[in-house]
């Protein structure tokens, strides 16, 4: 079962309107086919563009983070309900869905902002449709190295003012777990370092975990075999 983030829980607890607004057929069709809409309790993970980034790179980010969630979950579905929203506005009420390809031209209102300014803005503009604890910064390194900077909003917690560098594939891997309280920011060995957490490291971790599992299973079976009574023919 897919975990529910705090923001999703808040939205689900809100009483539905007594009147159903009239929608055009196209709106109904889109709403029935897409899970990335806030009216379907999708959680938006804000991405601040603080330096000009070509649209083709933003498109690659959108494709790769979704591939990364599929890799994390081990299926072709990923983690429905969790979506990056590349912010083209400061009005979070106007956001109706996550970012999709192809990205349309826009002017980022956050050009030149620092990580701390993005963190402060996130804290000052909390919204039930958006993640509470995490955010993403897309800067000049996004263009040069195809990396993201993942941040945490609670500076009073250990390492709260530090950032984590990831590639596009892994940028959303830790964020849902942080949102539901299944992980702590300072647990992450990559937080506050210049080392990039990327797909290669993720897949290496999967291999190591699988090898450890096989080793433990082998040891368990050997122990069970030793405990079985010996048959005398």
Alpha carbon distance 1, 226 (integer Å): 38
- Of 174, 178, 84, 89, nearest to 125 by C-alpha is 89
- Superfamily of domain 31-198 in the CATH hierarchy: Anticodon-binding domain (3.40.50.800)
Return d(Cα 164, Cα 151) in angstroms, integer.
6
How many separate helices (H) and strands (E) can be counted in the chain?
7, 6
State yes or no: pLDDT of 26 exceeds 70.
no
Average pLDDT, the chain: 89
The reported pTM is 0.81
pLDDT digits (tens, 9 = 90+) for 52-61: 999 999 999 9
pLDDT of residue 17: 39
Q: What is the mean pLDDT of residues 158-167?
A: 98
Which pLDDT score is estimated for 5? 55
Q: Which helix (H) or strand (E) is 199 found in, with range?
A: helix 199-227
Using alpha carbons only, give the angle 133, 135, 140 rounded to the nearest 5 degrees: 155
The two tokens of residue 19 are: 């009147």
């Amino acid at each position: 079962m897919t975990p529910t983030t705090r923001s999703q829980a808040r939205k689900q607890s809100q009483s539905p309107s007594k009147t159903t607004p009239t929608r055009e057929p196209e709106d109904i069709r889109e709403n029935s086919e897409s899970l990335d809409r806030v009216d379907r309790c999708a959680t938006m993970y804000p991405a601040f563009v603080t330096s000009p980034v070509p649209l083709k790179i933003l498109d690659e980010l959108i494709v790769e983070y979704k591939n990364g969630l599929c890799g994390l979950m081990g299926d072709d579905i990923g983690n429905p309900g969790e979506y990056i929203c590349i912010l083209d506005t400061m009005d979070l009420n106007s956001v109706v869905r996550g970012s999709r390809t192809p990205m349309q031209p826009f002017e980022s209102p956050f050009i030149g902002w620092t990580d701390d300014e993005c963190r402060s803005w996130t804290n000052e503009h909390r919204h039930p449709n958006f993640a509470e604890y995490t955010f993403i910064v897309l800067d000049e390194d996004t263009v040069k190295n195809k990396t993201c900077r993942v941040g945490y909003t609670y500076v009073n917690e250990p390492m709260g003012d530090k950032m984590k560098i990831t590639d596009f594939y892994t940028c959303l891997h830790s964020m849902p777990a942080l949102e539901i309280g299944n992980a702590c920011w300072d647990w992450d060995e990559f937080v506050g370092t210049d080392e990039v957490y990327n797909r290669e490291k993720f897949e290496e971790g999967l291999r190591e975990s699988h090898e450890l599992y096989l080793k433990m299973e082998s040891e368990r079976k050997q122990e069970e075999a030793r405990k079985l009574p010996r048959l005398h023919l």
